[in-house]
Structure 1
Amino acid sequence: MEHQHLHAAPGMNHAGHDHHSMMIMDFRKRFYVVFVLTIPIMLLSTMIQHFMGVNWQFAGSQYILFALSSVVFFYGGWPFLKGLADEVKLKTPGMMFLIGFAITVAYIYSVAIVFGLEGMDFFWELATLILIMLLGHWIEMKSVAGASKELELLVQLMPAEAHMVMPDMVHDVKTDTLKENDIILVKPGEKVAADGIISEGESYLNESMLTGESKPVQKVKGDKVIAGAINGNGSIKVTVSHAAKDSYLSQVIKLVDDAQKSKSKTQLLADTAAKWLTIIALISGIATFLYWYLTGQSLAFAMERMVTVIVICCPHALGLAVPLVVAKSTALSAKNGLLIKNRTAFENARKITTIVFDKTGTLTVGRFEVSKVVSLQKDISENEIIRLASALEQKSEHPIATGILQKAKDLSISPPATESFNAITGKGVEATVEGKKILVVSPGYLKENNIPIPEGYTVNDIETVVFIIINKQLAGYIALSDEIRPESAEAVKTLQQHNIKSILLTGDNNKVAKSVSETLGLDSFIAEVLPHQKLEKIKELQNKGEFVAMTGDGVNDAPALAIADVGIAVGSGSDIAAETAGIVLVNSNPRDIVSLILFGKATYRKMIQNLAWATGYNVVALPLAAGVLYKQGILLSPAAGAVLMTVSTIVVAVNASLLKVK
């Protein structure tokens, strides 16, 4: 298939992109030259003169015809002849092989006529054929360029220059020279030139092109900003956190690009179909030729049928059917905060029957706030419990830890230092603080170690509790709770309308899980699961014949994400390379999961429509070209064949560009 140009990363390396537009220009130029030459060729052809009822023959007119047609053949047909040679070299006869073969046959035969073979030449057919092929390729390349345009738009989000803040002045520098810890100034209305942290100023930033979040987000000192986001009305200074090539946007562009290059089952199906179509074209072309020639038709007639069959059969539309949809869908998804790393995972989204929401963080906001602190020992104040707990949690990224540290900060308590810190997998943490051995653990730990749960211990369903143990004495507990995301219920409802079950899989206690599950109307929940058990639970669902999508946060759910049929990493906006997931959702918004599935379905529909059109058209057009209805007076000329082929390709391209994210 000669669609290598589709897989060349558009815009990433400007060379690749310029190469593409140069090819478009090249086809355009050849088209115009051939167009000008086709007019005298038509006028000099005996058949056209016959048609017009004139006789403009003069001595040597066929030599002029031969000369003009040779220019058309070698200059206009050059891209196809070159393509033919390349395909023969690679032993992959395809598109170019067929066109090249068809025009060569037509040319050689016509030249033979000029130099004495009996019959009618086909120069005008040859010229119109090449003309239409050039036009078709030119239009098709423009539509391919259109499908990759979304990626270009992502590339253009990166401003070329940044205002770098120097001790004495602000200096404009090229964005790609920025390094970690440089400070840049972003004026109102400008695009942020690099990922970083705001060091002064505050503003509202529009990140919609990167995350799909339409509302501008307020950012203050200490907040992260993403390169490519558009600054609102405040002026901000940003400390750059890494060089441009590592920025979130560059990662997205690279991801989109890789995804467009990666092949899925549908793509491989289309490639196989195109390969077969090429073989069928050659066989039917030769068979058609032999049939007509041996049943007494003229050599010219048999040749013409063969050329038409081969041209009509060009698996153009087939070759484009999938790549165009791929280019469009990958880039569109990236704009909407869905990053597709693996095409197959994305195309499989339409088969999902069960979605496992890994932690409450997707369905809930994922920010735990301390809702109560209870001391169980007279000589220990509640603030002391927070102070000691915060000491152990300062190393952790866990939402509960963040909640406790936030509380300490609100009470302006500074966490003391810890020694011999140790994490107890899935159960909590332990360390020595100021000479005391302290544990911050889950209720499960108390159960396992037969520590009685204290009297008067009450928490409501949606609270998560950690206990503080000082020198083996239960000292108190902290309850935290997490609020449910407003979009969750609606997302779950939509999934149910599409017959997709939602299951909550969480390390949280049963009560929290039950409460979240009931509030949202989930199909079921599995609680108190340790990380390594998640994998087992997913396998169990798969063994029941479910097609499982797992949403997790990419880093600690790697094994489970890898084993799920579709792994969706959520909320790892900055850590885009969420290792094992096939799809990354920038916003951890459950609504995005719904859009992902619906968009996956829409994309697949488009591919199938395109493949059906491309093959169906051949089923109808091929017999007509071969002359099945010759007796009924229906016969397609090579030029008509070329027109049909071009139209079918354009239908496929237009259909691909109609793809939308709901």
Structure 2
Amino acid sequence: MTGDVDITGSHHGGEFNLAAGLLIAATVVAGYQIVKSAIQALRIKNISIDLLVSIAAIGALILGNWWEAAAVTFLFAIGGALEKATLNRTRKALSDLVDAAPETATKLNDDGSTETLELWELEPGDTVLVRNGEQVPVDGTVISGHGGVDEAQITGESVPAEKAENSEVFAGTWLRSGVLRVRAEGIGSDSTLAKIIHRVEDAQDDKAKSQTFMEKFSQWYTPGVIVAAAVIGLITQNVELALTLLVIACPGALVISIPVSIVAGIGRAARDGVLIKGGEYLETAAKVDVVVVDKTGTMTKGRPSLTDVIVLDPVYSEDEVLTLAARAETASEHPLAEAIIQGAEARNLNVEMVESAEPVAGKGIRADVDGHTVAVGSADLLDGAVDNAPILQLNEQGKTAMFVGVDGHAIGVVAVADTIRDDALEAVNALHNRGIKVVMATGDAEAVARNVGAELGIDEVRSELMPEDKLTIVQELQADGHTVAMVGDGVNDTPALATADIGVAMGAAGSPAAIETADIALMADRLPRLPYAFGLAQRTVRTMRVNIAIALFTVLVLFIGVFAGDVTMSIGMLVHQASVLLVIGIAMLLLRPTLKEDSVADKKVEQIDDKVSA
């Protein structure tokens, strides 16, 4: 029947020209930018995916296959737009950080008046006023005030951090309760937030080794596809088959499978307060099977705490022994004195200052307490023979023990030690669950190190080490075929950190140097972030492998379909774009939050609010 319309191009009649014209117009509109991009790539000697699509579309037009030409260009253009939109989602962590950057600040003048200024108008040393619900505009030190600050953008912590006089605060964080007066120190580009943004930006653009390989592969693969399609076309004398092969062999999903995973993985880590230097370090972190950690300040709190109070004279109670010891230590400048005083205060004991005391070099202190001479220290401060068994037993456990005596008579023993961090056991167990061996390397005494290692279940303990010994340990482990991560403070551990496959800095929020130099920087001083970082790296690498497998499988299926006669150019392009979006979608799963916060979070918030109210 004259006038029937067949938009596939196999029709005839007066309306044929109208349908063909519309399809050709659609091809030109959808394909203009594709051809333009292909030409721009050729100018820099790059044979791009756009060139494959351009050749296929132009060939289809020459063959009079209007529908295929329009469908291929339209699907490729739509797929490109969706790809760009979803890729932008993977960079959301970076855009969130940029959006968090403050623009103005309330300056507190010497006369007590306030004024709102742009950040660039502030100078280091200015006093900034931050009210409840406002954003902290600068890095600085709290001069006065008290409040809870939400530091999630910096450290990834969901629990507000308690801030008081001499506390550090960071630009981009939010004051959730209280009022703070802050001395400005880091302003604008000098702030920790700016350094994090710079670091994440560089890291997301940094290429992993597998990504570099894939890009080199595509440089040969894409022109190889063109040559192969031409050869097949000449052999089979089937131009449409050759053009279809160009479309289905597009390596889009293969090329994008790795970078989109890296961007998503690094972005998720940044939102959780873990800065990873780049794709190469992300891949290496996924292979880590041994972690070397320092003891002091890493597995332990890095400061002495009261651990034991033993009563030797039944006339006195534990609290009485501790109170007398703490009161005597109020006159001491010894580093262990503060641990005893704080231990007494933690038990709500009344620790009054003494009026007179006599430090005894190398032995301890004697003080006048309510008319009695109270001694805290070695047995030399006491009269007569004393049983040293309790002291020796505590010393074997790595603790520093001291006698407490009244008027020359031993009434008890107090002991202090650098105690294990509350989250250390959780972190070690999590590392073991990931198949990672933990080696503790410390300069501390063997007895101390052995006790800490036994309590935490550490696999191997090396003690009484010099900094160069830690370097040797890392090298030995690497020589045995291990991928080694080193966690240290970046000072005496610098040689080992530099040699390890991955150098990790903890509590890096207050250290711009650590943010810039560490392969992995944990912004919060929390050990469980260490296994989390390795776990996220492993998830990211698994995602990369899954995406590569999907991309290769898709191309294989399409090739089989083409030679079986079941796949046309338009179907091939539809499946190709679907595989690209699937690869991106799988990578975006990495953006889901998986970090578990402490169950005591709500309680801590309530405690901060109570202190502010008080």
Task: Map 1:501-650 to 2 at 5 A.
Answer: 501-578=437-514, 580-625=517-562, 628-630=563-565, 634=566, 636-650=567-581
How much does 1:79 deviate?
Answer: 2.0
1:97 matched to which residue of 2? 51
1:36 matched to which residue of 2? none
- Cα 1:290–1:321, aligned 2, differ >3 Å: closer, same or farther? same
How much does 1:160 deviate?
Answer: 2.6
2:588 matched to which residue of 1? 657
Task: Map 1:221-236 to 2 at 5 A.
Answer: 221-236=165-180
Q: 1:140-164 deviations in whole A, cap 9, x for unaligned?
A: 1110011111211111222332222
How much does 1:172 deviate?
Answer: 1.9
- Cα 1:412–1:316, aligned 2, differ >3 Å: closer, same or farther? farther
| TM-score for both structures, normalised by structure 1 | 0.72
How much does 1:371 deviate?
Answer: 8.5
2:94 matched to which residue of 1? 151
1:12 matched to which residue of 2? none
For 1:401 and 1:383, how far apart are their aligned partners in 2?
Answer: 5
2:376 matched to which residue of 1? none
For 2:442 and 2:81, how far apart are their aligned partners in 1?
Answer: 54
How much does 1:366 deviate?
Answer: 2.0
- Cα 1:569–1:47, aligned 2, differ >3 Å: closer, same or farther? closer
For 2:298 and 2:256, how far apart are their aligned partners in 1?
Answer: 37
SS of the aligned residue for 1:158 comes to coil
CA contact (8 A) 1:464 1:512 kept: no
How much does 1:179 deviate?
Answer: 3.0
For 2:8 and 2:508, how far apart are their aligned partners in 1?
Answer: 69
For 1:651 and 1:334, how far apart are their aligned partners in 2?
Answer: 24
Q: 1:177-234 deviations in whole A, cap 9, x for unaligned?
A: 4331122221212221111111221101121232122221111011101112221121
How much does 1:499 deviate?
Answer: 2.7
Task: Map 1:331-346 to 2 at 5 A.
Answer: 331-346=267-282
How much does 1:574 deviate?
Answer: 1.6
1:286 aligns with 2:286: no
CA contact (8 A) 2:8 2:66 kept: no
What is the aligned-residue identity percentage?
29
Residue identity opposite 2:205 in structure 1: K
For 2:248 and 2:352, how far apart are their aligned partners in 1?
Answer: 78
Could you say what the CA RMSD is over the residues aligned between the two structures, in angstroms? 3.4
- Cα 1:500–1:371, aligned 2, differ >3 Å: closer, same or farther? closer
Q: 1:52-78 deviations in whole A, cap 9, x for unaligned?
A: xxx5426xx64x667655644444222
How much does 1:609 deviate?
Answer: 0.4
From 210, 224, 229, the counterpart of 1:266: 210
SS of the aligned residue for 1:235 comes to strand
Residue correspondences, number: 518
How much does 1:283 deviate?
Answer: 2.8
For 1:142 and 1:319, how far apart are their aligned partners in 2?
Answer: 17
- The 10-residue stretch of structure 1 (646-655 or 240-249) with the greater mean CA deviation from structure 2: 240-249
SS of the aligned residue for 2:301 comes to coil
From 194, 201, 205, the counterpart of 1:257: 201
SS of the aligned residue for 2:525 comes to coil
From 161, 165, 185, the counterpart of 2:108: 165
Q: 1:100-152 deviations in whole A, cap 9, x for unaligned?
A: 22223334x25xxxxxxxxxx12222112111111100111110011111211
For 1:100 and 1:574, how far apart are their aligned partners in 2?
Answer: 53
2:405 matched to which residue of 1? none
- Cα 1:464–1:333, aligned 2, differ >3 Å: closer, same or farther? farther
Q: 1:257-296 deviations in whole A, cap 9, x for unaligned?
A: 1111111112123323433431342133213322331xxx
SS of the aligned residue for 2:125 comes to coil
For 2:474 and 2:151, how far apart are their aligned partners in 1?
Answer: 34
CA contact (8 A) 2:398 2:451 kept: yes
How much does 1:174 deviate?
Answer: 2.5
How much does 1:357 deviate?
Answer: 0.8
2:301 matched to which residue of 1? 365
For 1:172 and 1:236, how far apart are their aligned partners in 2?
Answer: 16
1:57 aligns with 2:14: yes
SS of the aligned residue for 2:303 comes to coil
Residue identity opposite 1:175 in structure 2: L
1:494 aligns with 2:430: yes
SS of the aligned residue for 1:201 comes to strand
For 2:225 and 2:82, how far apart are their aligned partners in 1?
Answer: 23
1:137 aligns with 2:80: yes
Q: Mind listing any 5+ residue stretches in structure 2 that lack a counterpart? A: 309-327, 344-350, 355-387, 402-413, 596-614
Q: 1:6-37 deviations in whole A, cap 9, x for unaligned?
A: xxxxxxxxxxxxxxxxxxxxxxxxxxxxxxxx
1:77 matched to which residue of 2? 31
Residue identity opposite 1:581 in structure 2: A
- Cα 1:307–1:174, aligned 2, differ >3 Å: closer, same or farther? farther
Residue identity opposite 1:500 in structure 2: I
For 1:521 and 1:492, how far apart are their aligned partners in 2?
Answer: 8
For 2:553 and 2:116, how far apart are their aligned partners in 1?
Answer: 57
Residue identity opposite 2:37 in structure 1: G
- Cα 1:616–1:550, aligned 2, differ >3 Å: closer, same or farther? same
Residue identity opposite 1:245 in structure 2: S
